[in-house]
Structure 1
Amino acid sequence: MTQPPITMIDYGGSNLRSAQKAFEAVGGRVRISDDPDVVRRAERLVLPGVGAFGAGMEALRRRGLDEATREAVGRGAPLLGICLGMQFLFDESDEMGRHAGLGLLPGRVVRFADGLLGPDGRPLKVPHMGWNEIAHDGCHPLLAGVAFGAHAYFVHSYYCQPAERQCVLAWADYGGPFAAVVARGRVYGIQFHPEKSHRVGLGILRNFVTMGEGG
């Protein structure tokens, strides 16, 4: 059966081509659009993101893509936020001031604290950059085939604090646990870079492409 096309939201601040190529590598059919009408009618959405939260949300609002995304999700379209795109899903962020997000998942985005220590007692640098293990219970179809303790590639200074524990599908640890993969209904988010995370990242993208719309 042909899978529904993926509409990748272009708000002017994302490295869309690498995400597009990663989805196409696992059989996804991707169209990139900055048209709110296209986003509003999309069958399946992906929101990649890089850069600063406030500037990204302002770009989404300026183009009318924030409301279009909410409308698409409201009528049942699955949405996957990637990296900063995952952070956009939440209520607000503390990055360089206080900025409202899309409000699709309850919670906040906060900065890693200074003075974090690793398991060996050595100081940890911010941003969190490089390979890290993700831990999960293996029950959600988005993580099908991903081993407990598999490694993914992260680059971020801010992380999500979901208000509901059940929203967290997978954790990673950087001076303490933080949400690496989240979901609520048909809204999903991954904090790491899937296109740089080899089999783990591509496996999650494949799961998003192929899993039933009920999630």
Structure 2
Amino acid sequence: MSLPPLLPHDGVAAELNPRAAASRGAGSRAPRVVVLDYGFGNVRSAVRALERVGAQVELTADNDAALAADGLVVPGVGAFAACMAGLRAVRGDQVVDRRLAGGRPVLGICVGMQVMFDRGVEHGVESDGLGEWRGVVERLDAPVVPHMGWSTVEVPAGSRIFAGVEHERFYFVHSYAAQAFTQGHDDAADPRFTPPLVTWAHHGTATRGARFVAAVEDGPLAATQFHPEKSGDAGATLLENWVTSL
């Protein structure tokens, strides 16, 4: 069964501002956000965190709702291959593709970010991802794995989702990550092309550790390896920045 047509975006882009939700006029409609419920992810904490920053949130696997929402959040915890299987089971892979093709915002969190890459390798088994970005998600090359706890990140100039929290720490819990990022867009030679903004983090010691992709902002697609819903005020500001852009 084919997916329904992608609905036009009826929202108006807002200026990204950590306090934008609080200052939204009484007559303004709260952005509608769907958290994709496909069996993997800290969905309840994500829903609560998004509601606290002003979103009207629905937790569902319904394709119509996911396509119609102002924003779609793809959470994810556990194994790369299992998350991909869960996404395909609810046709979430098609929903993500359709939304991005129409310029509609998508936010991936943790393994929800990892599956945006071409491939994931776990225990010697390679699995296909959604292929939105070129790259391989692999086990961290660090003395202690998993990487669990608070870490600072290297935010590039011009980041919108990190506005106001560029120097803050965020909460990570993962054993795998993309440790390289290849631009690889077919239209990279086009002068109108805007390359993705990649935020990096480091786990390990000064002599041995892994530098990995902590977040990516790429047009309508944004994603974080860390858990903004567990990252206190900094994570709330990041989510608010994303919600107020819808």
Counterpart in the other structure of 2:138: 110
Q: Distance in 1 between matches of 2:157 and 2:47?
A: 26
The count of aligned residue pairs is 202
Structure 1: which 5+ runs fail to align?
117-123
Greater CA radius of gyration, 1 or 2?
Answer: 2
**Deviation string for 1:2-57 (max 9, x for gaps)?**
24300111111222100000111111111111122322333211001111110110
Task: Answer whether contact 1:138 1:144 (CA < 8 A) is retained.
Answer: no
Change (3 A) 1:51 1:176: closer
The DSSP-based 3-state class of the residue aligned with 1:76 is coil
Instruction: List alignment gaps of at least 5 residues for structure 2.
Output: 1-27, 185-194, 204-208
Query: What is residue 71 of structure 2 aligned with on the other side?
Result: 44
What does residue 69 of structure 1 align with?
Answer: 96
Contact 1:134 1:172 in 2 (8 A): yes
Matched residue type, 2:236: L
- Structural mapping, 1:17-56, within 5 Å: 17-56=44-83
* Corresponding residue number in structure 1 for 2:41: 14
Matches within 5 A, 1:117-156: 124-148=143-167, 150-156=168-174
With over 3 angstroms needed to count, the CA separation of the structure-2 counterparts of 1:205 and 1:41, relative to structure 1, is same
Q: 1:99 aligns with which of 107, 123, 127?
A: 127
Amino acid at match of 2:224: I
2:12 counterpart residue number: none
2: CA distance, partners of 1:127 / 1:48: 19
Asked whether the equivalents of residues 110 and 158 of structure 1 are also in contact (C-alpha less than 8 Å), the reply is yes
Does residue 207 of the first structure (1) align with residue 241 of the second (2)?
yes
Structure 1 counterpart of 2:176, from 158, 172, 175: 158
* Letter of the structure 2 residue corresponding to residue 18 of structure 1: S
How many percent of aligned residue pairs carry the same amino acid?
Answer: 40
Distance in 2 (alpha carbons) for counterparts of 1:199 and 1:112:
27
1:173 to 195, 202, 205: 202
Could you say which residue in structure 1 is the equivalent of 2:220?
186
Higher relative contact order (CA 8 A, sep 6+): 2
Tell me, yes or no, if the aligned pair for 1:90 and 1:101 is still in contact at 8 Å. yes
Q: CA deviation at 1:138?
A: 4.1
CA contact (8 A) 2:196 2:219 kept: no
RMSD: 1.6
Q: TM-score, normalised by structure 2?
A: 0.77
